[in-house]
Chains A and B, each alone.
Chain A
């Protein structure tokens, strides 16, 4: 079988329907995102167990109920996504009109002319930049995270943000390579601005869910830097960092939005102190995931971030250095948050069995990927090589 092609392909409605034809399959790039989604979905349901369990006596909540300004957050999410998706839909229609198919392999083999690629890139970039999110399209994310229930935050951080990464790889790098080179300084500029501005915004947050949301913006911007470095290290690092972020960020949202918010019903950091004395197991998990979020060595985040920045530095040292400032800022806000929440004096119930079971697979996978990233890198190497060199 040729390297970098799709496996486990499935064809739907080949004979019954004439106007559409659906083929699905997996390759090295999509495999791990699929596995991440499969892991995150039951975790997000279990994380909201108190709200959906039949024995829970408080009738005011259901799985989808959010915070008091959820209408505004929903409007922002809807309008931003709708605005971006309009352009990407038009772009897909143009691609279909030019190529005659929407099959990935057929489009990647066809030659879209450079001027068309430039316009298609801008149209698709707007949509994917909203979902990534990159500054200045990131406003919806912080509202969505702070108002969503913990299950919603976990799905948003663990799955939906990775759709943007996957969109960059699958659509832009694969179908529009010339336009990607032409616009790479522009995308790198947006990514660097996102890293620095989002990190600085994170430092001044008073709501811990918004803090973790802003830190997500900063980390996914490093992913974008790696993707547009046009190096194998950069793209593989971007995939690893996406996967790592998809493990660590849901865990952080669960710890702050699930464990702490379930007990204290407030997200304001000022109310919290001294958690290490009374809920030490929570403090341990929180410490581990906080330092993983700050990309400490032996974490999967470190592997991904290092590879992304190495790839970026190889192509453009200035972009690499500016992107690396996010490491310092990330350490600053992570340590500040951990210090503020866990030291001092307070009282609470520690992690229970359900919460322990939710956190343990995320912790083990983050450590395994950090110590032995070849588990993923070996499998994605052939797909990423064929993406760059074909």
Chain B
């Protein structure tokens, strides 16, 4: 299978494709990257977690029962 149909590799396409796959070699702790990690790696998950717990606690209030116990809540 594939006899004679291999794609003719184009240097520019290969470079473009590789450039998007090299994060682990070219990552640096710049202020921008620190901010991105802080926002998407810490702040967003914490916000989602707090939101889910708040939703559960609102249900407990509506049902007139004590708040359910969750991790860190």
Contacts and interface: CB of A to CB of B under 8 A. Distances in A.
A73 interface: no
Contact of A189 (B7, B9, B49): B49
Given A50-B1, A185-B49, A268 B17 contact: yes
Nearest to A184: B70
Contacts of A316: 52, 55-56
Contacts, number: 76
Contacts of B41: 136
B20 interface: yes
Contacts of A136: 41
B13 A271 contact: yes
A111 B51 CA distance: 32
A259 to B, nearest CB: 9
A85 to B, nearest CB: 23
A317 B56 CA distance: 9
Interface string A249-284: 000000000000011111010110000000000000
Contacts of B2: 262-265
B69 interface: yes
Interface in B26-51: 40-41, 44-45, 48-49, 51
Contacts of B9: 266
A104 to B, nearest CB: 26
Contacts of A262: 1-2
Interface residues of A, number: 33
Contacts of B51: 318
B19 to A, nearest CB: 9
Nearest to A114: B69
A124 to B, nearest CB: 15
Contacts of B55: 316-319
A151 to B, nearest CB: 15
A264 B6 contact: yes
Interface string B1-22: 1100111011001101100110
A207 B52 contact: no
A322 interface: yes
Contacts of A319: 52, 55
A386 interface: no
A182 B48 contact: no
Nearest to A320: B55
A182 B56 CA distance: 12
Contact of A270 (B17, B49, B56, B71): B17
A142 to B, nearest CB: 10
A336 interface: no
Contact of B71 (A183, A204, A348): A183
B2 to A, nearest CB: 5
List 8 tightest A-B contacts by C-beta distance, closest first: A185-B52, A189-B49, A271-B7, A266-B7, A264-B7, A263-B2, A265-B6, A318-B55
Given A182-B71, A266-B7, 12 more contacts: A50-B1, A183-B70, A185-B49, A185-B52, A186-B49, A186-B71, A204-B20, A262-B1, A263-B2, A264-B2, A270-B16, A349-B1
Interface of B: 1-2, 5-7, 9-10, 13-14, 16-17, 20-21, 40-41, 44-45, 48-49, 51-53, 55-56, 68-71, 73
21 contacts: A181-B68, A182-B70, A183-B71, A185-B53, A185-B73, A189-B45, A206-B21, A207-B21, A262-B1, A265-B2, A266-B7, A268-B7, A268-B17, A271-B7, A271-B10, A316-B55, A318-B51, A318-B52, A319-B52, A322-B48, A349-B5
